[in-house]
Structure 1
Amino acid sequence: MVEKHRTSPTVDVEETDNIDDADYWVVAWIYIAYGVIIFLGKIAEFFAFITGKRYVHTPKGYAPLFVEFEYFYQRRLYGRIRDCWDRPICSMPGAWIDVMLRANKHYSDPLLLTGEKKRCLNLGSYNYLGFAQNEGPIAESVVESIYQYGTFTCSSPSDIGTTTPLRLLEQETARFVGKEDALVFEMGFATNSGSLPALIGKGGLIISDSLNHASLATGCKATGTKVRVFRHNDTRHLEDIIRESIIQGQPKTHRPWTSILIIVEGIYSMEGEILHLAEIVRIKKKYGCYLYVDEAHSIGALGPHGRGVCDHYGVDPADVDILMGTFTKSFGSIGGYIAADKSLIDHLRQSTFAYVYASSMSAPCAMQACAALRVILGEDGTDLGQRKIKQLKDNSNFFREALREMGFTILSNKDSPVIPLMLYNPSKIARFSRLAFERHIAVVVVGYPATPLTSPRTRFCISASHSREDLEWALEQISYIGDKLNLKHKKKTFLFF
């Protein structure tokens, strides 16, 4: 089997040892399944039209506000299985959660709470290090900050919204990731979408990984500059694009680019793959580019000290111009940050609308992230942080390899806590989710438009709060579901480079 996205000849084999690919017959059945579903949906649309029950898409005389196929997909495909998403919980997002049950009489009716709840093993939250809890020293420091600072600020940090916990968090974050200074935002999505326009403008070039997060894509569009995309994690293709872009220069004028910015992620959230950082740093230095790394899923979860992808590969943080991350995953809080040289951070404080025009992060949330940082660093006087980092790594590798041995198709690199299991057939999206829920496992299933139309999957997120017994029990249930849905596509994977 040929691996699609790992084509750079400079990448070591051990970095690409865990990416499975689909057999051709599996891909063929995907298209057949979608053909059947769309055909039946169109028949239903036809009968709805002749019986006068057709949905009114666009009022007469008005231009359409949406794409016809997307509306058809949402109504006839997603609408029938929407009970598999947005399930509310009534507990902390720890290893086990209480899920509130919902029901409706017809798939088009709204889902209503029944008043019942179900205890489930949580394999879907981003609580990588298990800091999302309501007891212990971290929770106590958060409660104390509420009494001292209140629960919100009602002002931007550039005005009067900078609190002591917020500034302390910025300093601790910069020290943690190895940069001179850091800027903290109240929202992770806005950290990317609102800051990129302040980093590059007319005459610049952005080169972005094809599977970058929507927040990065939104930020790239907002810059108004030229954007080129390279194949996912393919450093050879990246270098080809950079070389060609430098030779050709800007469109029409062919003048040199004012700057070239490479944008990548530490761990890709839908694939669980880890960035080839060392190779990209080499390319960036060779051609004089700037490098922006989104560490939303890798900060706290990768590296022997939890410092992210630089720590994982032993790369000097000074070789990465801009390190972005969030506090919503490993730290159990909200918001995001950008860490870089002080001169760049000073520029962003005055120019990014995600900071200047947004409310400041609340003091309790800043204290939560700051206290979690200190635990990871061991500055709380314990080794709890190191034990959590090791537990997360052991749990992730154990769970991933066990799934592979069962014969599932897995997209994930070693040490990554994000482990996607490929479903392929669209009819299995809801079936997998419902069977897992029946067996008291809460999972996240993902389909179009979050993934390509032919690549639906379930995405497991492993936590340090999971015990080995929890994972072994979950594997037994998942193996049963895999047999029932015929998801064990292979028993052994061969990769050629």
Structure 2
Amino acid sequence: MQWTPKTQNCINLGSYNYLGFADDWMNTCASMVLPEVDTHTVCSNSPSAEFGTTPVHVELEALVAEFIGKEAAIVFNMGYGTNSTSIPALMGPGTLVLSDALNHTSIVNGIRASGAAVAVFKHNSAKHLEVMLRTKIAAGQPRTHRPWKKIFVVVEGIYSMEGEICKLRSIVDVAKKYKAYMYVDEAHSIGALGDTGRGVCEYTGVSPSEIDILMGTFTKSFGGMGGYIGASKEVVSLLQNASSGHFMGTSLAPVVAAQVLASFKVIMGRDGTNIGATKLKALQDNANFLRQGLMDAGMVTLGQFDSPVIPVMLYSISKIAEFSRQCLLRNMAVVTVGFPATPLLLGRVRFCVSAAHTRADLEEALKNLADVAKVCHIRFHKHMFG
């Protein structure tokens, strides 16, 4: 990849901008954010435990906890680091972790760093999860065969390379049966699923009280950066002292914290408007419209309706770069993905839908994508063959 000075106006079908705050920031959030530039420095220049906590951080953590239905919350300056530095603080030797086969790299690396024993269960399969739990509990810890100190089940709300929504209800039921803690990564689902944007718990009818650890990021739906964990006060206190990403890393920039706080207030209607509800409805409508259009054009999509992540299968390695080039020729910016992020012969393009997309944007995109699909020979949907 090489930087060039050339610019081109495109329909953006690849960025994480689910609720469109990156587009209408000046109209929706600026009045609540810009005063922070005058009040605080642009960068906190210190970890939260030292001088990096400001009133806006405290207010943000309180509002996040309220929004997701947990007793307390802690915010981090990086979404990836939220998982990779908090998981080792929660899990360690003597802990058994049941991890979904398609969990994000940040989860995988966090579990590896923790020293916990890990067992991978088939993607989104509560049945296989139960088999693994029964087997591992019966065997106990390696060598000593003593009971496990703790057991965690770790899943995602929406799987970012598949666009699939977690079958949370059935997985939680299994975890309860075997007294395992639940850790749910809502990076792609918070602000994007549920009638009020409260994520996969709201969408699947699972009470937040049934989830021990709720993790999420501010980069997808909130127009900011960083991440959070919501849990009990005891767990949050532990993370404040044991998560290296919190006590060693510079805290979230105050101006970014203000942006995230403002977007939460818009989503919750606390700005005095219905902009948040309108955005949530637009995101769902746009996601379903684009998914149906891609299927009608003969493309094989992964995931399900209501997910703002829509992968389309390219399969062959040779089609990955060509698909991207053909889209760029038609003024569409897309993200294509291949090995090692996916299996060798399961390359794909991942579309990310936004509430900011107009119906005209999506209609134009579908027209052009149908042409690209013909050029690249990726119309593999079964209805294309009668």
Structure 1 and Structure 2 fold alike (TM over 0.5)? yes
Task: Measure the CA separation in 2 of the matches of 1:267 and 1:493.
Answer: 28
Unpaired runs of at least 5, structure 1: 1-81, 83-110
Which structure has the larger Rg over C-alpha atoms? 1
Count, aligned residues: 384
Where in structure 1 do 4 or more consecutive aligned residues deviate above 6 Å?
none
SS in 2 for 1:423: strand
Contact 2:91 2:116 in 1 (8 A): yes
Contact 1:268 1:274 in 2 (8 A): yes
Inter-CA distance 341–493: structure 2 relative to 1 (3 Å threshold): farther
Pick from 463, 467, 474: which aligns with 2:358? 467
Q: Within the alignment, does 1:127 sit opposite 2:17 as a pair?
A: yes
Task: Measure the CA separation in 1 of the matches of 2:354 and 2:98.
Answer: 33
Task: Measure the CA separation in 1 of the matches of 2:80 and 2:196.
Answer: 26
Task: For residue 452 of structure 1, report the CA deviation from its aligned partner.
Answer: 1.1
Pick from 103, 116, 126: which aligns with 1:225? 116
Q: Within the alignment, does 1:204 sit opposite 2:95 as a pair?
A: yes
Contact 1:277 1:313 in 2 (8 A): yes
Give per-residue Cα distances to partners, 1:297-339, cap 9 Å, x unaligned.
0000000000000010121100000000000010000100000
Q: Within the alignment, does 1:385 sit opposite 2:270 as a pair?
A: no
Could you tell me which amino acid in structure 2 is paired with residue 378 of structure 1?
Answer: G
Task: Measure the CA separation in 2 of the matches of 1:394 and 1:305.
Answer: 15
Q: Report the counterpart of residue 256 of structure 1 in structure 2.
A: 147
Task: Measure the CA separation in 2 of the matches of 1:493 and 1:199.
Answer: 49
Task: For residue 137 of structure 1, report the CA deviation from its aligned partner.
Answer: 4.0
Give per-residue Cα distances to partners, 1:366-401, cap 9 Å, x unaligned.
000000001100111111000000000000011101
Task: Measure the CA separation in 2 of the matches of 1:191 and 1:415.
Answer: 26
Could you tell me which amino acid in structure 1 is paired with residue 20 of structure 2?
Answer: G
Q: Report the counterpart of residue 47 of structure 1 in structure 2.
A: none
Q: Within the alignment, does 1:116 sit opposite 2:10 as a pair?
A: no
Q: Report the counterpart of residue 27 of structure 2 in structure 1.
A: 136
SS in 2 for 1:227: strand
Task: Measure the CA separation in 2 of the matches of 1:420 and 1:136.
Answer: 31
Could you tell me which amino acid in structure 2 is paired with residue 415 of structure 1?
Answer: D
Query: Superposed, which structure 2 residues align to 1:144-223 within 5 Å?
Result: 144-223=35-114
Task: Measure the CA separation in 1 of the matches of 2:257 and 2:139.
Answer: 46
Could you tell me which amino acid in structure 1 is paired with residue 29 of structure 2?
Answer: I
SS in 2 for 1:207: strand
Percent identical pairs in the alignment equals 49
Task: Measure the CA separation in 2 of the matches of 1:426 and 1:161.
Answer: 46
SS in 2 for 1:402: helix
Contact 1:404 1:491 in 2 (8 A): no
Task: Measure the CA separation in 1 of the matches of 2:244 and 2:125.
Answer: 32
Q: Report the counterpart of residue 316 of structure 2 in structure 1.
A: 425
Q: Report the counterpart of residue 56 of structure 1 in structure 2.
A: none
Task: Measure the CA separation in 2 of the matches of 1:181 and 1:493.
Answer: 51
Q: Report the counterpart of residue 348 of structure 1 in structure 2.
A: 239
Task: For residue 491 of structure 1, report the CA deviation from its aligned partner.
Answer: 3.8
Q: Report the counterpart of residue 373 of structure 1 in structure 2.
A: 264
Task: For residue 112 of structure 1, report the CA deviation from its aligned partner.
Answer: 4.7
Q: Within the alignment, does 1:441 sit opposite 2:337 as a pair?
A: no
Inter-CA distance 226–158: structure 2 relative to 1 (3 Å threshold): same
Query: Superposed, which structure 2 residues align to 1:448-459 within 5 Å?
Result: 448-459=339-350
Could you tell me which amino acid in structure 2 is paired with residue 304 of structure 1?
Answer: D
Task: For residue 437 of structure 1, report the CA deviation from its aligned partner.
Answer: 0.1
Inter-CA distance 434–343: structure 2 relative to 1 (3 Å threshold): same
Q: Report the counterpart of residue 406 of structure 1 in structure 2.
A: 297
Task: For residue 147 of structure 1, report the CA deviation from its aligned partner.
Answer: 0.8
Could you tell me which amino acid in structure 2 is paired with residue 116 of structure 1?
Answer: K
Contact 1:417 1:462 in 2 (8 A): yes
Task: Measure the CA separation in 1 of the matches of 2:241 and 2:212.
Answer: 19
Task: Measure the CA separation in 2 of the matches of 1:174 and 1:325.
Answer: 11
Pick from 84, 100, 125: which aligns with 1:234? 125
Task: Measure the CA separation in 2 of the matches of 1:177 and 1:151.
Answer: 28
Task: Measure the CA separation in 2 of the matches of 1:163 and 1:493.
Answer: 58
Task: For residue 140 of structure 1, report the CA deviation from its aligned partner.
Answer: 2.7
Task: Measure the CA separation in 2 of the matches of 1:214 and 1:418.
Answer: 17
SS in 2 for 1:449: coil
Q: Which TM-score applies when normalising by structure 2? A: 0.98
Inter-CA distance 212–186: structure 2 relative to 1 (3 Å threshold): same
Could you tell me which amino acid in structure 1 is paired with residue 129 of structure 2?
Answer: L
Could you tell me which amino acid in structure 1 is paired with residue 6 of structure 2?
Answer: E
Task: Measure the CA separation in 2 of the matches of 1:304 and 1:122.
Answer: 25
Task: Measure the CA separation in 2 of the matches of 1:178 and 1:225.
Answer: 28
Q: Report the counterpart of residue 380 of structure 2 in structure 1.
A: 489
Could you tell me which amino acid in structure 2 is paired with residue 471 of structure 1?
Answer: L
Could you tell me which amino acid in structure 2 is paired with residue 280 of structure 1?
Answer: I
Query: Superposed, which structure 2 residues align to 1:93-112 within 5 Å?
Result: 111-112=2-3
SS in 2 for 1:288: coil
Could you tell me which amino acid in structure 1 is paired with residue 15 of structure 2?
Answer: S
Contact 2:28 2:266 in 1 (8 A): no
Task: Measure the CA separation in 2 of the matches of 1:261 and 1:199.
Answer: 10
RMSD, matched Cα: 1.2
Pick from 170, 184, 202: which aligns with 1:293? 184
Give per-residue Cα distances to partners, 1:161-183, cap 9 Å, x unaligned.
10111111100000000001000
Unpaired runs of at least 5, structure 2: none
Q: Which TM-score applies when normalising by structure 1? A: 0.76
Could you tell me which amino acid in structure 1 is paired with residue 264 of structure 2?
Answer: L
Task: For residue 116 of structure 1, report the CA deviation from its aligned partner.
Answer: 3.0
Task: Measure the CA separation in 1 of the matches of 2:332 and 2:292.
Answer: 19
SS in 1 for 2:350: strand
Task: Measure the CA separation in 1 of the matches of 2:384 and 2:106.
Answer: 34
Inter-CA distance 246–405: structure 2 relative to 1 (3 Å threshold): same
